Amino acid sequence: MADLRASVPEYDKEDGEYKVKVICLGDSAVGKSKLVERFLMDGYQPQQLSTYALTLFRYQTEVGGKDVCVDFWDTAGQERFNNMHPSYYYQAHCCILVFDVTRKVTYKNLPNWFKELRQYRPEIPCLVCANKIDDVDYKVTQKSFNFAKKHQLPFYFVSASDGTNVVKMFREAIQSAVGYKENTTDFTDLVMRELENLDDLSLSNDVDSGVDTAGNSAETHTDEADEEQAEGATGTT
């Protein structure tokens, strides 16, 4: 466990590079990996984190005149048995939630993924995308999906296969990630990270009970809005 922190990138430390982390979430085989591949195209060396079977893709871009280094995190199949490791959510700045328009069950499972995301990252921007529209002759694009509307999340019809709206969606994801990072107090994140560093990150594989470990409970409270709510509740208003 000692080399865990060395192998997992830090996103909230300001060491010259402006970094954001974007994660993809959704059922097995909805096309998460293909979407990231389509956005990045060739020439990107995925970086494999040895500690966990996670893949991350680093992408350099510019947002509002600022150089930004974006890490896209992709699972290596941990979505199976809904066994996402807490470190996947850790310090994420934006989430792309994917379902497959050819398979109803992947849409029906969105609330579960969203719920888990919110347990770890209550405030980060989340985008919903309906993938594989090429596979149903685009007919599905005449329909509206209530999930995104209900949670007021931006929604995209995409195809990793022919590329429809993939670049647009990823660009907007990067922008919201940067926007989120700009608006959270680095101070809060910093304090939380210090607290976290006191403990060994002995994260268990069990996501449910994993919430009790130091790493996770700190993570759940990293968001500024949470802190403010807590203070508000003690009667400052």
Partner 1 sequence: MSRQYSLRKCGIRFDPPALFVTYTDKSAGKTRCRTMPIRNFTKTSTVTRFVEDFRKNPRHKKYLEDVPKSQLEKLLRLLQDNLRGMSLDQSLNEIRKEYSIDPNEDLNKVDEETLRKKKTAMEDSFEKNRKKPGDPDFEYEVERDFQPVETCEWDSGDSGSDADF
Binding partner at 220 among partner 1, ligand GDP, Mg ion, none, C-beta below 5 to 8 Å by kind: none
Identity of the residue numbered 207 = V
Residue 135 sits in the site that holds ligand GDP (CB under 6 A): yes
- Per-residue exposure over 120-130, b if at least 16 CB sit within 10 Å of its own CB, e if not: bbeebbbbbbb
Task: Kindly tell me which residue out of 14, 67, 111, 230 binds partner 1, with binding defined by CB under 8 A.
Answer: 111
Q: In this structure, are residues 145 and 116 in contact, taking their beta carbons and an 8 Å threshold?
A: no
Helix (H, G, I), strand (E, B) or coil at 95: strand
Task: Kindly tell me which residue out of 80, 182, 194, 230 binds partner 1, with binding defined by CB under 8 A.
Answer: 80
Residue 33 sits in the site that holds Mg ion (CB under 5 A): yes
Instruction: Kindly state the smallest distance separating residue 42's Cβ from partner 1, in Å.
Output: 7
**Residue 79 carries which DSSP code?**
T
Separation of alpha carbons 24 and 75, rounded Å:
8
Q: Specify the residue for token string 């192998």.
A: 7
Instruction: Kindly state the smallest distance separating residue 150's Cβ from partner 1, in Å.
Output: 8
Task: Kindly tell me which residue out of 4, 5, 8, 34 binds ligand GDP, with binding defined by CB under 6 A.
Answer: 34
Helix axes of 32-40 and 166-183: crossing angle, nearest 10 degrees: 90
Separation of alpha carbons 22 and 93, rounded Å:
6
Residue 87 sits in the site that holds ligand GDP (CB under 6 A): no
Task: Kindly tell me which residue out of 30, 94, 95, 174 binds ligand GDP, with binding defined by CB under 6 A.
Answer: 30
On the 0-12 / 13-18 / 19+ scale of CB atoms within 10 A, 140 is middle
| Residues that bind partner 1 in the complex, under the rule CB under 8 A | 27-29, 34, 41-42, 77, 79-82, 102-105, 107-109, 111, 114-115, 132, 134-135, 138, 140-147, 157, 159-168
What does the binding site for ligand GDP look like in residue numbers (CB under 6 A)? 28-34, 131-132, 134-135, 159-161
